[in-house]
Structure 1
Amino acid sequence: MKYIKTWDIPLRVFHWSLVALFATAIITVKIGGNALEWHVFSGLALLALLIFRILWGFAGGTYAKFSNFVRGPRAILGYVKGKGDKTIGHNPLGGWSVVAMLALLLAQVVTGLFANDDIFTEGPLYSLVDKDTSDYLTYLHTVNQYVLYGLIGLHVTAIIYYRLFKRENLVSAMITGRKQVPASIPDAHASQGGHVILGLVLLAASVGITWFISTHWAG
Structure 2
Amino acid sequence: MLKKIRVWDLPTRLFHWLFAIVITGAFITINLDETELHAKFGYAACILVIFRIVWGFVGPEHARFANFVPTLGQLKAFIKHPVHDKLGHNPLGALSVLGLLLVVLVQTSSGLFTDDEISFQGPLSHFVSSEIASWLTGLHEFNSNLIYALVGLHLLAIFYYQKVKKQDLIRPMLTGDKDLSSEDTNTPTALNPSKDHWGVRGLALVILVVIATGFYFLVIKK
Letter matched to residue 145 of structure 2: Y
The answer as to whether partners of 1:60 and 1:193 remain within 8 angstroms in 2 is: no
Q: Report whether the alignment pairs 1:131 with 2:130.
A: yes
The answer as to whether partners of 1:50 and 1:102 remain within 8 angstroms in 2 is: yes
Q: Which residue of 2 aligns with 1:13?
A: 14
Task: State the Cα deviation string for residues 32-80 of structure 1 (Å, max 9, x = none).
Answer: 1xx2111111111111111110111011111100011012011111111
Alignment partners' CA distance in 2, 1:15 and 1:27:
19
Identity of aligned residues (%): 36
Q: Which residue of 2 aligns with 1:200?
A: 205
User: What's the offset of the Cα at 1:141?
Assistant: 0.3
Spell out the pairing of 1:81-100 with structure 2 (5 A cutoff): 81-82=80-81, 84-100=83-99
Number of residue pairs aligned between Structure 1 and Structure 2: 215
Letter matched to residue 200 of structure 1: L
Classify the secondary structure of the residue corresponding to 1:88.
coil
Alignment partners' CA distance in 1, 2:118 and 2:37:
16
- 4+ residue runs of structure 1 moved beyond 6 angstroms? none
Task: State the Cα deviation string for residues 4-44 of structure 1 (Å, max 9, x = none).
Answer: 11000000110100011111111111111xx2111111111
The answer as to whether partners of 1:28 and 1:38 remain within 8 angstroms in 2 is: yes
Length-normalised TM-score, structure 2: 0.91
Q: Gapped runs of 5+ residues in structure 1?
A: none
Alignment partners' CA distance in 2, 1:100 and 1:64:
16
The answer as to whether partners of 1:115 and 1:123 remain within 8 angstroms in 2 is: yes
Alignment partners' CA distance in 2, 1:155 and 1:2:
27
Q: Report whether the alignment pairs 1:80 with 2:79.
A: yes
User: What's the offset of the Cα at 1:180?
Assistant: 2.8
Length-normalised TM-score, structure 1: 0.92
Spell out the pairing of 1:180-195 with structure 2 (5 A cutoff): 180-184=179-183, 185-186=185-186, 188-192=191-195, 195=200
- Higher mean C-alpha displacement, 38-47 vs 80-89: 80-89
Letter matched to residue 142 of structure 2: V
Letter matched to residue 29 of structure 2: T
The answer as to whether partners of 1:168 and 1:180 remain within 8 angstroms in 2 is: no
